[in-house]
A and B are shown apart, each in its own frame.
Chain A
């Protein structure tokens, strides 16, 4: 599943970040920001227009990501 498809509030962990093209700087920055294998993530809020951008909680940090950016992150739903 993609982070952009994750329902609001449901817990998941990051699987990996996929490059949208070779040497994708956005994907690398996402990895630098902590989107790496095994990291718990959650969608906290969605923007008012077209549910974009998404507010993502990872660790203690909240990042605003556009849907296209969040689509680079593959997640596994956490079965709590």
Chain B
């Protein structure tokens, strides 16, 4: 083995700061948050130690025990035991333990030690431990454990200095490997107790602030009230705070479009491509960046603070009744950002049936890609007025769309539960972490990551599809002497008219039908596609900013409501279906998901459209 290929694995109990440490060492930007089960995959990074040696670092999902209970825990066990496909066992295991919670975490340290591989113990969150008056006799702990022990503060720059120096030195000798069985595992607790008694003194078992906050946050009445108010505030903020920024982006796009096309002859194909295709299409999507960022601001703060597992605690019974588990709360909440990370986060769900149910209903959570569609329609059709003297009506409608998605998910999960023959029990067993003050820097980085992802989508898939759609809507051109807009004769126009037969009963016009097709690749594209289609069929000066008023003028309210209902359910996202295929390894589940979502979408739109038309 050459000296420059030292491979180090980070292991430890969930939520002890492995990923924060990984990011600190490698300069990586892996997602960190304050709850168990953020990391569900093996992640790799490298850094150069002061000696010039390149160290390869593996970040692994947290686990309580090598007696793995869930798919993410299995990954950790397999890597540590050298059984992960295509990967040798790591040269050195860095076991990370939360210094404020050693009674639990030391047990896993002992379990790791018994693998018979070189181990270094990193006592993380030493800053919090000191603040709480916890005193650890590190040298005595090191002597009794027989492995090197270093202190780290993963959230502080330079907080891993001692660890770097230690892993850059000699590899410590491994303890002899020991057999692993249930009896000897139970013995580990006796050893932990002895270690704790000899090396750790704690003034009190818990953080006084945590206890005080939890008295309110977990209170049967106030706790639920706080949760409801919090959720409602988020949706109000998405509408109320974003408007000035959206207006600025809109004005910017309009000005840029005017400037960019001013030199081109108005009837040329290039003018049309830029004006109708790119500026009308991309501009229509770009204006929604502020709303997405506001939503994420709240999600990131909730994630970092440690509140999310509390919400899961409050809602567990309800979700359990519906056939889910409180643990599904976090994957489902991630699905509000995007169903893909949400579905991947289900790896932390122990029970395979719970996991599958969660995966099947995850697409019903309103992902941020649907936000542009919702807000476009709401802004165009729902009057901006105050209801009940307090709330913005548009915010209320948006909130109710999200609620519809959530309620549908509970109903679908309930149906799945009834259809399931296997009724055996499954566990919750969820750890509630200490509250933590969110770091401004982490939140800012998270928002920046989100902005990059969004702009990449706009510049990548959305741009490509918009240009493609422009071509399809422009060619073939109309025959000489034709009346009516040119788009009617194009490929896209014909496709739209053909699909119209299927979607007429739910009130979609042919322009919407065209927009649904590229929307399969990314939901926001439906908005940019509408921008393009209307720009193509209208006069040349139609640009992004006018899409809202334009559809407000041309569509009936029933059509708009029907499209909103469609988007609550529609399975229109290829990437989600692809990730379901990958995570469940079954085309059948993909077909079930796509089928039931399409059925529900069509049904919901049909009912909405027919009722709205009958009432108007």
Contact = CB atoms under 8 A, between A and B. Distances in A.
Contacts of B104: 33-34, 59-61
Given A48-B224, A55-B313, A34 B69 contact: no
Nearest to A17: B186
Contacts of B186: 31, 36
A65 B317 contact: no
A80 interface: no
A60 B202 contact: yes
A60 B317 contact: no
Contact of A26 (B65, B309, B429): B429
A28 B211 CA distance: 28
Interface residues of A, number: 33
Interface string B215-228: 10011110110000
A64 B432 CA distance: 7
Given A60-B101, A63-B429, A63-B432, A48 B220 contact: yes
Contacts of B107: 32, 34
Given A29-B64, A69-B427, A36 B189 contact: yes
A65 B432 CA distance: 11
A10 interface: no
The size class of the interface chain B forms with chain A is 35 or more
A63 B102 CA distance: 15
A45 to B, nearest CB: 4
Interface in A19-38: 20, 25-26, 28-34, 36
A66 interface: yes
Contacts of B65: 29, 32
Nearest to B65: A32
B430 interface: yes
Given A55-B218, A60-B202, A29 B67 contact: yes
B91 interface: no
B429 A65 contact: yes
B313 A47 contact: yes
Interface of A: 20, 25-26, 28-34, 36, 39, 44-50, 52-53, 55, 57, 59-66, 68-69
Interface of B: 64-65, 67, 69, 100-104, 107, 182, 185-186, 189, 202, 205-206, 211, 214-215, 218-221, 223-224, 309, 312-314, 316-318, 320, 326, 425, 427-432
In the A-B complex, the 6 residue pairs with the closest CB atoms: A59-B103, A48-B220, A49-B317, A45-B218, A32-B65, A62-B432
Given A55-B432, A57-B205, 12 more contacts: A20-B425, A31-B185, A31-B186, A32-B107, A33-B64, A47-B314, A48-B223, A50-B317, A53-B316, A59-B104, A63-B432, A68-B425
